[in-house]
Amino acid sequence: MLDLPIEQRNFGITSSAQRVHAALPSSGRSAGGAAVDLREEIEAFTANPTSVLIR
Q: Specify if 36 maps to a domain.
A: yes
What is the secondary structure of 11-32 as a DSSP string?
A: HHHHHHHHHHHHHS--SSTTS-
pLDDT at position 27, please? 66
How many structural domains compose the chain? Answer: 1
* Between 54 and 16, residue with greater pLDDT: 16
Q: Give the type of residue at 8.
A: Q
Domain span at residue 24 reads: 17-47
Q: How many whole angstroms separate alpha carbon 55 and alpha carbon 11?
A: 11
Q: Specify if 40 maps to a domain.
A: yes
Task: List pLDDT tens digits, range 4-33.
Answer: 988 888 889 999 999 999 998 876 556 678
Q: Specify if 27 maps to a domain.
A: yes
Q: How many whole angstroms separate alpha carbon 10 and alpha carbon 54?
A: 7
3-class secondary structure, 49:
coil
Of the pLDDT bands very low, low, confident and very high (cuts 50, 70, 90), residue 43 is: very high
